[in-house]
Structure 1
Amino acid sequence: MSKSVDTGLGERRVLEPLYEHGQHVLPIYAAGERVAASSASVEEVKKRGGVRLRPALGRYDKQQRAAAQPQAYGWIKAIYPEAIEFTAMRQELEGMPMIQAAIGLLVGGGGAAIGAWAMTWPFIYSIDGLGYQAFFFIGGLLMAIFSLLFLLYMVGTPIRLLWGGPRDLPVIFDRAHRKVYVMQREVAPGLWGLLKPWPVKACAYDWELVQAEHHTEVAPNPGTGARRIHRLAFTVRRSAEDPTLIGHFQVALGLALTEPMVAPLWEHIRRFMEERGPHLPHPSEPLDERSDDRPSWWQAAGRTGPFGPRYGWWWKEHPGITLFYHLIGIPGLALFIAGWIRMNGNPIAFMALLAPYIPLSINWGLATGLWLVAHTSRVYEWPQAVRQAIGEPVRKGAGW
């Protein structure tokens, strides 16, 4: 349960109660629906042959240094006398889930259009043969239905994630009590999961039962087709005697990490918890800062790319990505116009629209996500038990 508090910045909810270690099991583990790669050693997973792993993927030892220089990369939002708090989402990356929606619109919408065309073209061109017509009608209908369901899932999931969701899902490492406090949102998977509750809960895990790991996966990217995502992930065992997994979480956003960044990020956490290392890797390192304003959609577009109100600023501050967007978009739009005129409206010309679609979907997709978060998200506060354990913050990033 959570208690709502009205503030000038919108609704804030205090999470209660705090689930102590073992009191709450994430549904995917409680239902036995997942055998995580992290539940076994890298060697055991390789023997199964069902998961492809890069050599860098593996577990970290709390007693061994993983990197020469620890790093936090600006992901720490607050420091306490004996604790550090990481944010789960940097403001400039909050709209990233909407990239999935852009892919869904492209693939799902295109598939539905092709399916509809397959259903009707034998009738439009007066092609005889009842069996021939029935084959294309049924095939096109099935393709259109599948594509629409795919579109619904790909677009609905990121919207559900961002609309009315938590502003942040932070993680606190408390070395005084050897605890890790985690805010988690339980996302129901699948298309029907969009209609189920997605509750936010606060859990306390024992540090000794938390295992740090380097996870990686390949994810679709509208710009390059695919990219490899690296994560600093943590899995949680039930007890010292029982290795059954009861939960997992991650620090920082995988989309913002590269392979060489994972080990230094873990090394900072490890030194803080195991060797009483400093709260920040470098005393001058800034904390994560955010703005609590509520931009219009057009203002958000200017923050996420050049196709908005800060067109000149993007050319000045980020000329590389701005030039890249234009090299993709403008020639593609020109090819579309030329193809449309030359081929008298032939649908094949629409393929050239992929070029301008890529930069626009990234820029405006991110803007849409940023706008949704700014106007609809909720701020969740830690339970009283956590605030009593860690004390008042010594320093917080602006906006937090």
Structure 2
Amino acid sequence: MNDAAGSPQMRGAGLMVFVCIASVLVWIATRLPSTIALEIELGIGIGTVAVYGFLFLFLWYFARPWLVTAWKLDMFAAESQPTIFDRKHRKVYQLFTPLDGSADRGVNRFKPIQLQGAEYDWDRLTAEHRVELVTSGQTVSRIHRLVLVARDDPQPGEKHGRLLEEINVGNSMGLGENSVPMLWEHLRRFMEERGPGVPQGEALQAFARPKNLWQSLGVVGPFGPRFKDWRRDSRFVVIVALICLPITLPMNLLWGVCNWISHLTMRKTVWPQVVHERVGEALHQAQ
């Protein structure tokens, strides 16, 4: 099971956030000198100038971590960092980039990434449905996540064993109150009852890795070469996109460009040898 960033469609979302935040900061920075000059000319005083400067530094301080995170999500990022469910050996493997940051140093940033891995016994994992309440001041929403909690054997006098790791499964952007239990039940049946790898009636994501900008536009939205596929599989999305065309078209164009750039800079990943030996090769046709 791939992480969200491993999806061809989700590629570029982080870079798009980076562009939007950076554009706001650049706009503020370019407007700031003229605004300060006008305030001085009107005799407002040095206090107001200091307030403007403080507000800019305040925004920069809080926006910088978001800029760095959004940039790293898509620029020279790993192709995928999957969580692998090994039914034969009753194991779960979590693959990730080197924790020491060596893959992002010097010329290594342009090379394929040798993924590291952590192995967990399926029988020692506990599934948790976690809900996070998020508010913007005007609206309230809930983020649903499926988390597999790995713990060590409890020692004498301990109710629970030592926490080893928490594994987020799936993309929280696409999970809801009902889909989290359904996803867990699908995984449980696959591991314990020889259930199918793909739920009955569903298909793997058919989007191939885009090879040019035109294909990227079709991956992220209906304004591209896959319009018929979008109309067939996501008719409601297409209707909303056409109704809100003045908004959705520029956003689709921006996301498509960012998606293309992300795929251009994306780095291949290499699974640990022990994982290859146990579960075979990765599938790259549809992810």
Distance in 2, Cα, partners of 1:235 & 1:116: 52
Taking the TM superposition and a 5 Å limit, the aligned residue runs for 1:215-254 are 215-217=130-132, 227-241=141-155, 243-254=161-172
1:153 matched to 2:65: yes
Q: Which has the larger radius of gyration?
A: 1
Aligned to 2:195: 277
Residues 1:136 and 1:328: Cα distance change in structure 2 (over 3 Å): farther
Aligned to 2:203: 286
Aligned to 2:217: 301
DSSP 3-state at the match of 1:267: helix
1:387 matched to 2:276: yes
Aligned to 1:183: 95
TM-score (norm 2): 0.74
Q: Which moved more, 1:139-148 or 1:313-322?
A: 313-322
DSSP 3-state at the match of 1:232: strand
Number of residue pairs aligned between Structure 1 and Structure 2: 271
Residues 1:366 and 1:275: Cα distance change in structure 2 (over 3 Å): same
Q: How many Å apart are 1:141 and its aligned residue? A: 0.7
Native 8 Å contact 2:36 2:49 kept in 1: yes
1:209 matched to 2:121: no
Native 8 Å contact 2:210 2:260 kept in 1: no
Distance in 2, Cα, partners of 1:288 & 1:321: 17
Distance in 2, Cα, partners of 1:399 & 1:245: 34
Q: How many Å apart are 1:265 and its aligned residue? A: 0.6
Residues 1:285 and 1:320: Cα distance change in structure 2 (over 3 Å): closer
Q: How many Å apart are 1:316 and its aligned residue? A: 5.1
Q: How many Å apart are 1:114 and its aligned residue? A: 6.9
Distance in 2, Cα, partners of 1:286 & 1:102: 33
Native 8 Å contact 1:169 1:183 kept in 2: yes
Q: Which moved more, 1:102-111 or 1:371-380?
A: 102-111
Native 8 Å contact 2:210 2:216 kept in 1: no
| Amino-acid identity (%) | 25
Distance in 2, Cα, partners of 1:117 & 1:313: 49
Distance in 2, Cα, partners of 1:392 & 1:273: 19
Distance in 1, Cα, partners of 2:25 & 2:131: 26
Distance in 1, Cα, partners of 2:97 & 2:141: 25
Native 8 Å contact 2:8 2:219 kept in 1: no
Aligned to 1:97: 14
Residues 1:212 and 1:319: Cα distance change in structure 2 (over 3 Å): closer
| Structure 1: gaps spanning 5 or more residues | 1-85, 189-193, 331-355
Aligned to 2:285: 398
Taking the TM superposition and a 5 Å limit, the aligned residue runs for 1:292-331 are 292-296=209-213, 298-306=214-222, 308-310=223-225, 320-325=236-241, 327-328=243-244, 330=246
Aligned to 2:173: 255
User: Please, which of 76, 79, 86 is the counterpart of residue 164 of structure 1?
Assistant: 76
Residues 1:292 and 1:103: Cα distance change in structure 2 (over 3 Å): closer
Distance in 1, Cα, partners of 2:209 & 2:239: 30
Distance in 1, Cα, partners of 2:257 & 2:274: 36
Residues 1:303 and 1:277: Cα distance change in structure 2 (over 3 Å): closer
Q: How many Å apart are 1:301 and its aligned residue? A: 2.8
Deviations 1:168-189 (CA, angstroms, capped at 9, x unpaired): 111111233221101124789x
1:122 matched to 2:36: no
Q: Which amino acid aligns with 1:121?
A: L
Distance in 2, Cα, partners of 1:362 & 1:178: 44
RMSD, matched Cα: 3.9
Aligned to 2:48: 136
Q: How many Å apart are 1:254 and its aligned residue? A: 1.0
